[in-house]
Chains A and B, each alone.
Chain A
Amino acid sequence: MSVKVEVIEGGIPHNKIMIAGVICTLLCIYLTYLNVVTKTEMFSFFGGLAVVAALIWGSHTIKVLCSYGIGTGVPSAGMIAFGSGVIAMLLATKFGILAPIVALVLAAIIGFILGYVSNNILNMKIPAMVQALTEMAVVGALSLMGFAALITGGFGFTGLTTKTVSYMGMSVMTHQESFLGGCLIAVAFLLGSIAIQHPFNATLGPGWKQDRMLMLTAECGFLSMIVAAIMSFALISASSAFISLIIAIIGWAYTYSEYMNMSKRDAAAWLDSKPIPDVEGH
């Protein structure tokens, strides 16, 4: 016997969320380019906001896909999204200022081909599959780029692989303590893939509500931003990391309390230390 998921309609249509997601994510990633313009690292927090925007879009895509009953469960969708996204993102970082656009196009191609493979070669024949996998690959790539921008201050290949440290008064470039050298991309990978599938996975059921799920996505995004900001203390200046941390904490506190309020609104009952209610016949 498996959990029954009913396709619930209503709420903001998916395409609107997708368009808003693409625009917000790209905008926030490009806003981190202000770091290069102003030669600081203060605007790294936009990377975190890009992650939140991309995750909100991506979690709704997962909802659309998994409502069809793909038979394997929700977490694998997150894994394939970020598995294909990380590959696109790493190549895209080589294209300088065009990196986010290239990431989007490349990830869309990879996702489209994976969707075609799943639907036709693996015979899954789900109507939303190709579009969903395309979107999820893009979300994966852009989220990882957002994490990279948040943690290192930029989204170019050189910035991800080097870090300048002060050694005995001289500036020395090190590769070992960089985003790619220390493989922090592995942490970003898992942060994103759990955060993208958790909102639908945690709110699925007959009482699923869109606003509650999206609020949970924002909460997961800001929570990921908190820990990513803490990790960024090692790679960017302390004040810039501190800005990211504060914004993340405020965002998380707000979205978490809102999510709890919404759950209270939707729950059958919100009891404290009460026994199991009696149901007829059981």
Chain B
Amino acid sequence: MSAVAAKPQAGGAMNPTAMAVGVVLTLILVGICYAVSPAIGLTTLIAVIIGGVLIGFGTHFVPVGGAPAAMGQAPGIATGVAMLAAGAGLAGLFGGAWAADQGVVIAVVTGGIGGGLMMAITCMMVNFVYVFGMGIPSASGKVAKDPITGDTQAEYKSQGTEGHGLPFISFVGGVIGGILGGAGGTLIYVALLHLYKVALPGMMGITAAQVLTIAVSTAGMFAVGLFLVNAVLTAYNITGTIEGPHDPKFKRWPRAIVASAVASALCGLVAVLIVVLPTMPM
């Protein structure tokens, strides 16, 4: 549900001062982490920042149409952008977590493929329902020709609408978004899991086998939390709907990179501090 009330329009402009402040803030947070935990804490934080940026950037690719899409008035998927991206990314995280023992590279790639696969199936079924269930071909409202296939779009748009369904560029965008989101989430999870597996036994005074469930759950919860924060920030950036990478709104992505970097650095630093600071008795 979107609400419309009196509000100064956001617009796609960039704010250089704020972007600079954001970059400086990220560097300060990384510096703090370097000071408290140079080796493993720093690598974890860098990994979390990269993962968060991947999520934030990847969500720009996912085609979301919002409420008009549910009526065939706009192209895209008829769900909220943050939650659709979260759904795909979490499905990817599920696969990546399973492969976590096989090493970072395999886990992250597996997570990415998991997210991409979910988006591929979902986007295909969306087109399936539009074409075979409702008799409506796909058409984009933002471009005259599909950038990948060269199909003309305007004459396949029904009257009084902005387009409907998922043109091929939107499908590809969705898959790319799923891949990046799944990879980013898995990277955050694997990095935090490694940190907690190494540091928690000493901190809590227990064996590595006993700490495994705590490490998995805490890392998983952090990954979910960071996922949602980054996805919602992207939703704010694109003001709710986007047709895919061909949409003019896509050009706003630099803002989201900085925003995700700041948010992920901040949350990642807090995640690292959990194992650095001592536990006070109750």
Contact = CB atoms under 8 A, between A and B. Distances in A.
Given A73-B240, A118-B236, A121-B18, A110 B2 contact: no
A94 B232 contact: no
A87 B267 contact: yes
A2 B67 contact: yes
A98 B214 contact: no
Contact of B240 (A71, A90, A113, A186): A71
A5 B282 contact: no
A68 B217 contact: no
B10 A2 contact: no
A80 B3 CA distance: 18
Contact of A94 (B229, B262, B274): B274
B229 A114 contact: yes
A88 B221 CA distance: 12
A175 B211 contact: yes
B105 interface: no
Interface in B1-22: 1-8, 10-15, 17-19, 21-22
Interface residues of A, number: 67
Contacts, number: 218
Interface in A178-210: 178, 180-183, 185-186, 189, 201, 204
A178 B256 CA distance: 37
Contacts of B255: 121-123
B221 A161 contact: no
Contacts of B125: none
A175 B210 contact: yes
A121 B80 contact: no
A87 B225 contact: yes
A154 B281 CA distance: 12
A70 B270 contact: no
Given A84-B225, A114-B263, A118-B233, A90 B4 contact: no
Interface string B255-278: 110110011001100110110011
A156 B271 CA distance: 16
Nearest to A183: B217
A5 B227 CA distance: 29
A-B complex: 5 closest residue pairs judged by Cβ atoms: A96-B280, A120-B18, A5-B3, A83-B228, A71-B239
Given A5-B5, A67-B3, A122-B236, 6 more contacts: A71-B236, A97-B280, A156-B281, A158-B282, A175-B206, A180-B218
